[in-house]
Amino acid sequence: MTTYTLNVNGKTQTVDVDGAMPLLWVLRDKLDLKGTKFGCGIAMCGACTVHLDGEVARACVTPVSSVGAKRVTTIEAIGETKTGQAVQKAWLDVDVMQCGYCQAGQVMAATALINKNPKPNDKDIDMAMQGNACRCGTYVRIREAIKTAAGVDTKDTREV
């Protein structure tokens, strides 16, 4: 057991855990932040997507020992940013959700995309969102919601 001091959603948090414990389980089981989800544990689904210093990270394969002083942002706090708010609102306007289980990860990935690239096109969306699986198949709406949040034309421009 080692003591780690983390910056989670702007708050300093101290946990006493094995350094190999993935950030996902520190968030969920130690800090009671359950918005970040577990889907695969091997960086294959994106349900556990968080931001580390604003960059997308899969919390299920991020050992807590590797986090250091990086700012951890989770779904619980993404609405405190302007982009995060816009993405959440677009998700509600489009009504993206089916089961909703993947959607915290989708919102986190979409927010990081728009932060980097405020006017993403369909290729950019394909690239940025490929790592976030939606078992319910809400991709049509995720695409539309990202464009809605970014304020670009929602028409799907891919070849038909």
Partner 1 sequence: MADGNITINTSRRFFLLAAGSGLVLAGCVTPADTTDGAPAIAAEPAKPAAPVVDMNNFVAISPDGTIRIMAKNPEIGQGIKTMLPMLIAEELDADWSKVVIEQGDADQKRYGQQIAGGSFATPQHWIPQRQVGRAARQMLLAAAAARLAVPVSELTTEPSMVVHAATNKKIPYGDLVADAAKLTPPEPATLTMKDPKDYRIIGKSMRNWDSPKIVRGEPIFGIDVKVDGMKYAHFVKCPVFGGKIVSANTAEIKALPGITDSFVVKQVGTSLMGLLDGVAIVGDDWWTVKEAAKKLKIQWDEGAAADHSTASFDSQASALAKAKPQAFLGPQGRAPTEANWAASEAAVNGAAKKVEASYTYPFLVHAPLEPQNCTAHAKADGTVEIWAPTQLPGQGIGLVAEALGVAADKITCHMIRCGGGFGRRLANDYMVEAAAISKQAGVPVKLLWTREQDTQHNPYRPGGYHNFRAGLDGQGNLVALTNHFVTFGANGRALGNATSPPTEFPSGFIANTTYGQSLVPGNMPTGPLRAPVSNAVCFAYQSFIDEVAIAAGKDPLQFRIDLLNSPAAAVSGEKGPMNAKRMVDVLNVVRERSGWANRAPLPKGTGMGVAFYFSHQGYFAQVAKVKVEQNGSWRVQKVWSVGDVGSTIINPINAHNQVQGSIVDGISEMHQKITFDKGRTVQSNFQDMPLLRMDYAPQIDSHFHISNNSPTGLGEPALPPVLPAVANAIFAATGKRIRVLPAVQSDLRWT
Site size for partner 1, by CB under 8 A? 69
3-state secondary structure (DSSP) of residue 50: strand
According to CB under 6 A, which residues from 50 to 69 bind ligand FES? Answer: 58, 60
> CA 126 to CA 143: how far, in whole Å?
9
139: contact with ligand FES by CB under 6 A = no
Phi (first) and psi of residue 45, to 5 degrees: -130, -25
Buried-exposed string 65-80: b where 16+ CB fall within 10 A, e elsewhere: eebeebebbbbbbbee
Q: Which does 32 bind (CB under 5 to 8 A by kind): partner 1, ligand FES, none?
A: partner 1
Q: Tell which phi-psi region holds residue 143, choosing left (phi > 0), alpha (psi between -120 and 50) or beta.
A: alpha
> Is residue 51 near partner 1 by the rule CB under 8 A?
no
> Are the C-beta atoms of residues 94 and 148 closer than 8 Å to each other?
yes
Interface residue with partner 1, options 45, 57, 112, 114 (CB under 8 A): 45
Q: Which of these segments, 2-10, 33-41, 65-73, 115-123, binds ligand FES (CB under 6 A)?
A: 33-41
Residue 152: which of partner 1, ligand FES, none does it interact with, CB under 5 to 8 A by kind?
A: none
Nearer to partner 1, 20 or 118 (CB): 20
